[in-house]
Amino acid sequence: MEPGLYSDARGLWSFAGGAGMLPAEVLAELGPALASRRAKGRLSALELPFGTAAFRDLQDEAEADLRALLGLPPRYHVLFLQGGATAHFWFVPMNLAGLSGHAAYLETGLWSRRAIAAARAVAEIRIATEPAGLADARGAAYCHLTPNETADGACLPALPALDPAVPIVADMTADLLTAPIEVERFGLIYASAQKNLGTAGLTLVIVRDDLLGQALPGTPAPFNYALQAREHSRVNTPPVAAIRVAASLFKWLRRQGGLAAMERRRARRSATLYTLIDSSGIYSCPIKAAWRSPVNVCFRLPSPELEAQFLDAAERRGLLHLKGHPAVGGIRISLYNGVPDAAVEALADFMAEFARPRAGGASP
Ligand SMILES: *Cc1c(COP(=O)(O)O)cnc(C)c1O
């Protein structure tokens, strides 16, 4: 099979909210790594028992590359878990709420609302609807943020000013590894892998050492962060193949120039699209400039009929999965790490072409 055939040789591009595309080079390398037994006598990553030295080497290498990408200090543990960010909406409070009686959550869109709904079943939650509202989070076990709201196309312009004693917990499923972060400002970061870190099945939890050991009784062992930290994420069988995919992607990110290069790329690509949207006379983005996500660009057309026509015409060009989140509607362009520049250029050309004959009559 021709490497890269799916991802770009035929111009078949996915802008899905998740799972996202993988870089063509990563796919080409994974073919043999996942599917065939190597001459060296290694098992494929699909068959690799997790008790082997080969798996431990793979996990150690993935962790070392991730630490290098993020500049992660030793007092942060990297846990390779399962469940998806959604399961951790419950497991985060189960692990951390024991630190104090309550937790503060910032509500910014669909995913933070889901995190709040889950956490309510576990702990006492106080909700702020804007960053300034977190000023009185004093005494909270933690403050939960969703820095990038994938479904709404919004991002937090900056981390809120908080009592330094309150650890920040962030669901970074859509934006981890798309830009450098000030790791030291976070107590815990979690992210499903299928957007920017590889493929579904792996959920990364990065947690500061002093926050461990407070889990509520009854926290399931595979999701007890202190236990998993002690057992090197091998309390039970880890998602071996998904870790293999992440390992390749981390190496690819380092070859691209790391997170600073990814941040420049996401800024350039999202700016092209937002400029096009604002000047088109037919597309409109409801998010105010400072809050616009550089990862998920969401916009509307003047009518549901035009949105359907847009999606249909895009699909015929090989520009796939542009429909907005079902709970939000409209159009969404997800610009994850694996989406090549050629895809974004093809999409921008298509959007300009689609707008041109329709802009006059459709603009307000
Ligand atoms: C996609 C997404 C989720 C859900 O991830 P699952 O792996 O489906 O649980 C949660 N939070 C954010 C910010 C997301 O983008």
pLDDT value at position 100? 77
Atom of ligand 1 nearest to the CA of 88: 9
Q: Does any ligand 1 atom lie closer than 6 A to the CB of residue 150?
A: yes
Pocket test for ligand 1, best of 108, 150, 172, 295 (most atoms within 8 A of CB): 150
User: Could you identify the atom of ligand 1 that is nearest to the CA of residue 203?
Assistant: 7
Indicate whether residue 337 lines ligand 1 (CB < 6 A).
Answer: no
pLDDT value for 38: 58
Closest among 258, 296, 274, 286 to 146, alpha carbons compared: 296
Nearest CA to ligand 1 atom 7: 84
d(CA 111, CA 155): 12
Q: What is the pLDDT of residue 97?
A: 82
Mutation choice for ligand 1 from 110, 111, 328, CB with most ligand atoms inside 8 A? 111
Backbone Cα Rg of the chain: 21
Could you read off the pLDDT tens digit of each residue along the chain, which spans 364 residues?
Answer: 344 334 444 578 999 999 999 999 999 999 888 877 655 666 888 889 999 999 999 999 999 999 999 999 999 999 999 999 999 999 999 999 877 779 999 999 999 999 999 999 999 999 999 999 988 788 899 999 999 999 999 999 999 989 889 999 999 999 999 999 999 999 999 999 999 999 999 999 999 999 999 999 999 999 999 999 999 999 999 999 999 999 999 999 999 999 999 999 999 999 999 999 999 999 999 999 999 999 999 999 999 999 999 999 999 999 999 999 999 999 999 999 999 999 999 999 999 999 999 986 544 4
How much is the pLDDT for 5? 39
CA of 171 to the centre of ligand 1 (A): 8
Instruction: Kindly give the distance from the C-alpha atom of residue 190 to the centroid of ligand 1, in angstroms, as a whole number.
Output: 10
The confidence score (pLDDT) of residue 10 equals 57
Residues with a catalytic annotation lie at 111, 171, 195
86 Cβ closer than 6 Å to some ligand 1 atom: yes
Ligand 1 atom with least separation from CA of 148: 13
pLDDT for the residue 37: 66
Q: What residue owns the CA closest to ligand 1's atom 5? A: 85
Question: Ligand 1 centre from 211 Cα, in Å?
Answer: 23
